[in-house]
Structure 1
């Protein structure tokens, strides 16, 4: 995993993130596609252009499947949470 920040998430945060993941995993295949990830990031206020989205996928799609599974999603969101906290 590129980041170990996901280990700093509380069980309640992980539960909330699982619910968010499930909401955006529209086809219920256990992964979030590029389009679903873009929609999720936009919904939570992280504006990302095509290159930024590609960079996130390159960094966090550790199994190179072209999608983000829940474990990869935890690493990504842990970083976003950390960056949001540190920028406040």
Structure 2
């Protein structure tokens, strides 16, 4: 998936439109891009922690792209 496709999915999953994903929105994004297969709620929380580079409790697009590249998404 290229950066533009990731951005489109990110925007679709950003339900409140704040430019950041909370745990539920991140879960929806991971499902949308096919990365959530076999992940339970604890795995989603670990993903949130991994993606949340600035420790804000949410994941912005820049953080998502940085970590998704490392994870091969």
Structure 2, unaligned runs of 5 or more:
none
Structure 1, unaligned runs of 5 or more:
1-11, 82-88
Q: Shift in Å at residue 40 of structure 1?
A: 1.8
What is the RMSD of the two structures over their aligned residues, measured on CA atoms? 1.8
Q: Report which structure shows greater RCO (CA 8 Å, sep ≥6).
A: 1
Answer with 1 or 2: which has the greater Rg: 1
| TM-score normalized with structure 2 length | 0.80
| TM-score normalized with structure 1 length | 0.68
More helix by share: 1
